[in-house]
Chain A
Amino acid sequence: MEQGYLLGGVGQSVPKLENQEKVRGEAEYIADMVLPNMVHAAVLGSPHPHARIVSYDLSEAKAAPGVVAILTGDDIGEGRMGAFIKDEHAIAKNRVRYVGEPVAAVAAETERQAQAAVALIKVEYEVLPSVLSPAEGLAEGAPLLHPEVEDYITVFDSGSKGNLVSRTEFSEGDPDQAFSKAEIIVEGTYTTQAQAHVSIEPCGALADMDGNGKIRLWSANQSVFRVQANVCESLELPMSRVRSMTPRIGAGFGNKMEPHIQPITVALAMKCRRPVKLILSREEDFEIVRARHPFQIYMKTGAMKDGTLVARVCEVLSDCGAYADDSPGVLGYSLLMARGPYNIANVRCEGKLVYTNKIRFGAFRGFGNPQVTFAGEQQIDEIAKRTGIDPIEVRRRNILSEGDPWFLGQEVRSSGLESCINAVEEASEWKKNSGSVGSGGGCRKALGMAITAHISGLLSTGAIVRLLEDGCVVLNTGAVDIGQGSDTVLAQICAETLKMPLDQITVASPDTDGSPYNWGTTASRVTYTTGRAVNDAAEKVANKIKQHAAEIFDCNVEKVELREGGQVGIVGSTEALPFAAISGRAHWAVGGPIIGEASVCYERATADPKRAVVLGLPFPRIGVMSFGALVVEVEIDEITGHVRVSRAWSALDVGRAINPTLVEVQIEGALVQGLGYALFEEMVWDSGRLSNPTLMDYKVPTIVEMPDVIESIIVESPEPDGPFGAKGAGEIGINAVAAAIANAINQATGARHYHLPMTSERVLNGLLSSEPHR
């Protein structure tokens, strides 16, 4: 073999492994799946934000055509699920806590019959006063959503009490003292809105149960293992009875990480002993899955006249919605990131998370980081303005470097942040363009910038690499590819380690019965964390191959090396054997087939108790840091206030780009999703009811809103223990977008924006009420 075998190794932009079936329309998503004798389900949502369920009258629904089974809260036990705080039943039981919350579900012969029957269910409610904001929730005498919250099982010190779901407090140094000496202080209160994920595939599930009581479950998900855990906790089933699997996934962005309607689907399947399929409508997907947290952020930053940052305080009040879900993690993570990628010696970040009668808020690309970055990076620009120093220069003077500690103490072992800043500064011709405001034709044009960091890591993962008889490989990790290309990237890592062609590797579909544990496709973690496990497992396979080869060649194992193309030979000789010969032998030799297994759990501590005071830390060992810098150019219509992002330069340090094209897509996709967040996406409630649960009323960016120019710049500053140096790329690209746009709008109009989204109305008001370039 010649150079061809190299195709597919690390650093190559090979097309994704499953592309063919996707361009041919053959990829199978949850809604495309069909089982023999399958019935269809529909859910009934609560009409009230907060009410006690008094009784159900199912008589009419039961008699409706085609109805096979009906599920209500009376059918389930006391089991509760939750990633951080176990506070949620499979379906509403005794009480409803948000409009749309499933109170009953029907399985019927057709989808239409199920929907018709659902409308015949009568539920008697005793309406309770509701809590629609965190401030209301914390008020004296507020109605309690979860009166039993202090009895719930939690996985960390949450401090839950009343409607307070969790509180987290971090500090280093002495901020009060530092502020008293600071020459410049900027402060402000910022609010951010709820953003909907809008994966184009709505959530859904399909479940059946065999005669032995074993359940098979397929669903739109980001972790077959979290699905299994949530189903088993809420329905009080042993994990051995639930086999969770995955079809192709139509994107996630965090929406599909924790449960949606999998427990309901399983409960129905157990009840009617037939396969049950439940696919949410777009409206239901908006109303009952999850969304990005609205934050209220008070932030204050202190600096010296030379631009040196000396102190920061951040106080977050986060809306949890009706169930804890990933919210305690999002709060804790946002506080860990609120200092930004700077060396600031005196920092205090604290936050409260409060139950409200709304849809649960949860994981969404960025995980609390876009919110705090919107506040923090605007304050850096304000400091630049007050010192008269260029905003990029202020950042450059304060950024942390390799070897510096992150907030709370974990050492940063790789940082390409300065390279990212330099790259976007140069690409945008910042020095020439930044100070000026282009105007003319009723349009103002200006640049803005922001920088960010994001972790990749967290928790456990395993990998199994098996050599088949003919020398091909099955890679099995349990990591769900949600479309971003992790199957391909993990196969590339495996191919590189074994020096074998990518097309001789197949990736097993995640299956809790057959795959090693994988916490999930979340926290920008698959390439870094699962990649490490793949690398380790493949190394073990390589060692076994070498052992067999040494026996065949009758030489010392140190004399044996892997050769590109899936071969093994003696160092210094041309003699080589293909993996097929080795594996064929192994299948009949003592020791047996060649299998490599590895397990990884991210190991380095988030907090160093010698540096930081920490209360309510949800992630004791969190991950390694990726870095990013972004410059945007905005054009603002002076008549309407409409903001258009015309050009964007986004540089990310991802350690090592295993597949550069796939990294670019993450940069671009995150940028445009962030653009929607910054300028127009917003979920709006009217007395507890979501007013805009459709794509007609909730706008996401189309191709028309994309910038004219997006320059994606990959910076590679290898992480010492990352697979081939790689670290995460999935989330970081969204963090700085709203902040960079806000800084550009400020440059163009003189107005500071404290509220997201920065709608035309808000921007126009800002433009009209501020003196340009004050």
Chain B
Amino acid sequence: MKSTRFSLLVNDRKREFVAESDATLLTVLRDSLGITSPKRGCNQGVCGSCTVLVNDRPQRACLTLAATCQDKRVTTIEGFAGDSLMTALQDQFQRCGAVQCGFCTSGVLISAYKLLCESPEPTVKEVKANLSGNICRCTGYQKILDGVLKAAEERRSERESERD
């Protein structure tokens, strides 16, 4: 397989490296850049454990060719450090018991983050629709649902107190 020079903006840092031309985004993140938070659960686009943002859109890193991400912004869970919405989600996931084995957690958090960006006060139905591509075998999803709704609620209270 031929090699390609890649240039990606990963978590706000420009990263340049050489990898096989047909490498997926998941492979280059994990193997070339050592960013291991996106997990390889199925390598088939079903489990959602490798979910990352590409130009702010959630994507399966295992189904995305790295070559299609040239010069694009790629955000993994590490790239959210200090982000108040992600922090709220992370806190509520911990409090609610949504974190079990943790293997799906990064992907779930990123899907939930994107949902709350677009729909800050989602209904249960919306949460389910937006997390339907992230499989969790541990929790039965109740605590994940609770975590997302509580984070949304916490943010709403913050917005209201800011307005007051």
Contacts and interface: CB of A to CB of B under 8 A. Distances in A.
A49 interface: no
A19 B147 CA distance: 14
Contact of A695 (B37, B93, B104, B135): B135
Contact of B137 (A15, A21, A485, A700): A700
Interface stretch (B53-61, B95-103, B153-161): B95-103
B119 interface: no
A249 B41 contact: no
Contacts of B30: 31-32
Contacts of A202: 40-41
B24 interface: no
Given A668-B143, A672-B141, A32 B95 contact: no
A488 to B, nearest CB: 11
Interface in B69-123: 76-78, 81, 90, 93-97, 99-106, 109
B76 to A, nearest CB: 7
B37 A26 contact: yes
Contact of A201 (B1, B103, B106, B141): B103
Given A13-B97, A22-B102, A200-B104, 5 more contacts: A20-B94, A200-B101, A200-B137, A253-B137, A282-B41
Interface string A454-489: 000000000000000000000000000011110000
A661 B39 contact: no
Interface stretch (A562-570, A701-709, A748-756): A701-709
Contact of A200 (B81, B136, B145): B136
A669 B100 contact: yes
Interface in A56-70: none
Given A24-B78, A25-B77, A281-B43, A665 B104 contact: no
A694 B135 CA distance: 13
Given A665-B143, A703-B141, A25 B103 contact: no
B39 A703 contact: no
Report whether over half of chain B's contact residues are helix, strand or loop; otherwise say mixed.
loop
B99 A201 contact: no
Nearest to B36: A32
A202 B142 CA distance: 24
Given A248-B102, A483-B100, A704 B138 contact: no
B42 A694 contact: yes
Given A13-B97, A19-B94, A703-B128, A200 B103 contact: yes
Contacts of B101: 199-201, 248-251, 482-484
A483 to B, nearest CB: 3
Given A200-B137, A483-B138, A695 B78 contact: no
Interface size of A as a range: 35 or more
Contacts of B39: 29, 31, 200-201, 250
Contact of B142 (A251, A668, A700): A668
Contacts of B100: 251, 483-485, 665, 669
14 contacts: A19-B99, A22-B99, A25-B105, A27-B102, A112-B1, A250-B103, A664-B97, A668-B139, A668-B143, A669-B138, A696-B44, A702-B141, A703-B128, A706-B140
Interface of A: 13, 15-16, 18-29, 31-32, 34, 112, 197-202, 248-251, 253, 279, 281-282, 482-485, 661-662, 664-665, 668-673, 694-696, 700-704, 706, 710, 712
A661 B135 contact: no
B66 interface: no
A251 B37 contact: no
B110 to A, nearest CB: 10
Q: Which 10 A-B pairs have the closest CB atoms?
A: A25-B37, A483-B101, A22-B102, A250-B103, A672-B140, A668-B140, A25-B77, A695-B46, A251-B101, A32-B36
Contact of B44 (A18, A28, A694): A694
A443 to B, nearest CB: 18
B152 to A, nearest CB: 16
Contact of A703 (B49, B99, B103, B145): B145
A703 B100 CA distance: 15
A365 to B, nearest CB: 10
A15 B46 contact: no
B139 A665 contact: yes
Contacts of B137: 197-200, 251, 253, 669, 673, 700
A702 B139 CA distance: 11
A490 B29 CA distance: 36
Q: Identify the interface centre among A673, A696, A703: most chain B CB within 10 Å of its CB.
A: A703
Contacts of B96: 661
Nearest to B46: A695
A279 B39 CA distance: 12
A115 B103 CA distance: 25
Interface of B: 1, 20, 30, 34, 36-44, 46-47, 49, 76-78, 81, 90, 93-97, 99-106, 109, 127-129, 131-145
A21 B93 CA distance: 12
B79 to A, nearest CB: 10
Contacts of A253: 137
Contacts of A197: 137
Contacts of B102: 18, 21-23, 27, 248, 250, 483
A245 to B, nearest CB: 18
A410 to B, nearest CB: 31
Contacts of A28: 36
A662 B97 CA distance: 7
B140 A670 contact: yes
A16 B137 CA distance: 18
Given A29-B39, A484-B100, A665-B100, A23 B140 contact: no
B125 to A, nearest CB: 10
A704 B128 CA distance: 6
Contacts of A18: 102
A16 B94 CA distance: 7
A703 B104 contact: no
Contact of A23 (B49, B76, B94, B145): B94
Contacts of B128: 703-704, 706
A485 B81 CA distance: 25
B94 A31 contact: no
Contacts of B90: 23-24
Contacts of A704: 128-129, 132
A706 B124 CA distance: 12
B49 A200 contact: yes
Contacts of A250: 39, 101-103
A739 to B, nearest CB: 18
A20 B77 CA distance: 12
A16 B100 CA distance: 8
Contacts of B95: 15
Contacts of B36: 25, 28, 31-32
